[in-house]
Chains A and B, each alone.
Chain A
């Protein structure tokens, strides 16, 4: 049973009204999962500010029946990863665009479009769609994920059976000022298989995305995502991962701009000797309007000798807000757990703020877990040292900001992809000097 939020009539009414305003796909084989999700959503209700997990982030704009306007800004840099060998899938305002996408053929990978696959019965996806999301509702309710499962109109179902020869790149193009996209992807990495998933693009005026990833025994999954550009966009995203024996799950997110971004990662480590890392680098400049970025992470260890790392860094200026809520839960059976969590912010002025809630809950006795959270400004001594060697102040600041972010970027295994991300960071910092 899902942990109940404070139940009250207003919440029930608001939730019912929101559901009534949605166009709910019936779904083919996903139908039962969608119906269950709707039940879950009604039971927990949409979030309100006084809920424990929403006290730092106001869910009002995510709850609203209609999104607030968010114009799509013209591109000022080439598309990220465009020069890398990859299979590219394009969604515009949350709708798959087959014209703009590559052929969905990639050796070792089976790709179906959710909107079409629903008519068939894809048994492996039936065991996944809404399943990890439902598991992730305990012990913390995640109403927008349940809403997504019930209402998602598009997405992809990906089954990885071998080592994919190149990364899969999903580009989320944003077009309409009021686009409201609900996208749901499922990925099953079969035993010993491996995939790198890249996700980029501003997506929509309002974007609700769920990614369910099941990494079976010995499988490897790398995820690198960049959310960006459009200043007024709002997004609530969830990654639900289940990590099996000796499997590897690694996810890195770069977020620049955006009025509101809430990224939840819910990771359940279920097989021995598995590794799961989640990392994020967020850069916010309140000069362009509101910037509010929230990373909410929950890692559950339920197997022996597993390693988890959470590395989240935020660079904030001009009234930007960063939030980190991260938890490591070590269940009684999860002996020899190695858990690590760090959340840090670099505030470039006095107007910006970082709100952090790090949590550890440990029920096994032979574990190694550590967590830390810091907030600080640019180190003046280091800045002077660099300048005294002739490095101009803004270049020196950029070096120090990049060095602050280095531990998060180090979580990207592929050096070329990491270099692309660093180049994006440098571009962003160069445009926002002073």
Chain B
């Protein structure tokens, strides 16, 4: 589903290389995890895939279902089925959470030539999904992420994902700043979406999220490259020995 080939990316302004040849293939129905030390380029990879400004692709590329991803506008990537749960969800004062969700859902449906959801259908779907994530009506009424705690912001990301039903979900450190209960909620939200036609790329610094969202494949990223790939046992190895050993062993 997602194929990243020899992806080289540098910061547009400083010309500083961040990604130095990333190769990664995520198949439909699978959960891949990317782990790696801070600063290794995990968030950069997620931003480049979703189309944020400020990065220059100097070599390589990425496709979603065979389509060149990096040439599309961010909204086109979303309509094509890509979703990024942000490491730092953005606060948007003045835009109500519900308005935001409805605009997004209907924009994507429109882009795909589908019928827009009626107000009633939409409301029913949001209420249902919000309930399982323990997001109350008051939170839905507030401006997007404004005044939300760290955990509320992350749950709100998962609510958006549940409403938008993307096929390729990237989660960037969705576990950071969450207590165990909140992390379970988030993991349940993700697991509820697991489906043979949907794939996940779960970026995390710690192994603990992977106790709840069981990955099929684990990759270790260091200094802008995938340096090691393995099964779930690789995450446990990281948990025990840290990254230093793996990175050192490769050096």
* Contact residue among B94, B103, B164 (Cβ-Cβ distance under 8 Å from A406): B94
> Is B248 an interface residue when CB atoms closer than 8 A count as contact?
no
Q: Are B100 and A389 in contact (CB under 8 A)?
A: yes
Q: Are A385 and B86 in contact (CB under 8 A)?
A: yes
Contacting B at CB under 8 A, from A265-289, are: none
**A389 nearest CB neighbor, chain B only:** B104
Q: Are A386 and B79 in contact (CB under 8 A)?
A: no
**Inside 8 A of A407's CB, which chain B residues have their CB?**
94
What is the 8 Å Cβ interface bit string for chain B, positions 141-171, against chain A (1 contact, 0 not)?
0010000000000000000100010000000
A431 and B83 alpha carbons, distance in the complex (Å): 30
Task: With A380-B53, A384-B52, A403-B95 as known contacts, state yes or no: A390 contacts B90, CB within 8 Å.
Answer: no
A204 and B34 alpha carbons, distance in the complex (Å): 66
Majority DSSP secondary structure for residues of A touching B: helix
Q: Are A385 and B92 in contact (CB under 8 A)?
A: yes
A392 and B100 alpha carbons, distance in the complex (Å): 12
Taking the closest CB of chain B, its distance from the CB of A302, in whole angstroms, is: 34
A393 and B83 alpha carbons, distance in the complex (Å): 17
> Is B218 an interface residue when CB atoms closer than 8 A count as contact?
no
Q: Are A384 and B94 in contact (CB under 8 A)?
A: no
Q: Are B86 and A391 in contact (CB under 8 A)?
A: no
> Is A83 an interface residue when CB atoms closer than 8 A count as contact?
no
Interface size on B, residues (CB 8 A): 30
**Inside 8 A of B50's CB, which chain A residues have their CB?**
388
What is the 8 Å Cβ interface bit string for chain A, positions 387-401, against chain B (1 contact, 0 not)?
111111101100110
Contacting A at CB under 8 A, from B30-85, are: 50-53, 73-75, 77-79, 83-84
Q: Are A391 and B73 in contact (CB under 8 A)?
A: no
**Counting chain B CB atoms within 10 Å of each CB, which of A384, A388, A389, A393 scores highest?**
A389
> Is B193 an interface residue when CB atoms closer than 8 A count as contact?
no
> Is B107 an interface residue when CB atoms closer than 8 A count as contact?
yes
A390 and B35 alpha carbons, distance in the complex (Å): 27
A391 and B164 alpha carbons, distance in the complex (Å): 12
**B47 nearest CB neighbor, chain A only:** A384
> Is B93 an interface residue when CB atoms closer than 8 A count as contact?
yes
Q: Are A393 and B94 in contact (CB under 8 A)?
A: no
**Inside 8 A of A391's CB, which chain B residues have their CB?**
75, 103-104, 107
Taking the closest CB of chain A, its distance from the CB of B169, in whole angstroms, is: 12
* Contact residue among A384, A400, A403 (Cβ-Cβ distance under 8 Å from B74): A384
> Is A428 an interface residue when CB atoms closer than 8 A count as contact?
no
Q: Are B75 and A400 in contact (CB under 8 A)?
A: no
A391 and B103 alpha carbons, distance in the complex (Å): 7
**Inside 8 A of A396's CB, which chain B residues have their CB?**
75
A395 and B50 alpha carbons, distance in the complex (Å): 18
**B90 nearest CB neighbor, chain A only:** A385
Q: Are A400 and B79 in contact (CB under 8 A)?
A: no
Taking the closest CB of chain B, its distance from the CB of A313, in whole angstroms, is: 11
**Inside 8 A of B73's CB, which chain A residues have their CB?**
387, 393
> Is A402 an interface residue when CB atoms closer than 8 A count as contact?
yes
Q: Are B92 and A390 in contact (CB under 8 A)?
A: no
**Inside 8 A of A385's CB, which chain B residues have their CB?**
86, 89-90, 92
Taking the closest CB of chain B, its distance from the CB of A70, in whole angstroms, is: 34
Q: Are B51 and A400 in contact (CB under 8 A)?
A: no
A235 and B85 alpha carbons, distance in the complex (Å): 49
8 closest A-B pairs by beta carbon, nearest first, are A403-B94, A390-B78, A389-B104, A390-B108, A387-B74, A385-B90, A406-B94, A403-B95
Interface of A with B (CB < 8 Å)? 379-382, 384-393, 395-396, 399-400, 402-404, 406-407
Known: A386-B100, A389-B107. 15 other contacts (CB 8 A): A379-B92, A380-B53, A381-B90, A384-B53, A387-B75, A389-B164, A390-B75, A390-B79, A390-B111, A391-B104, A395-B107, A399-B99, A399-B100, A403-B95, A404-B94
Interchain residue pairs with CB less than 8 A apart (21): A380-B53, A384-B51, A384-B53, A385-B90, A386-B104, A387-B75, A388-B83, A389-B100, A389-B164, A390-B107, A392-B75, A392-B107, A392-B111, A393-B75, A395-B103, A399-B95, A400-B95, A402-B94, A403-B93, A403-B143, A407-B94
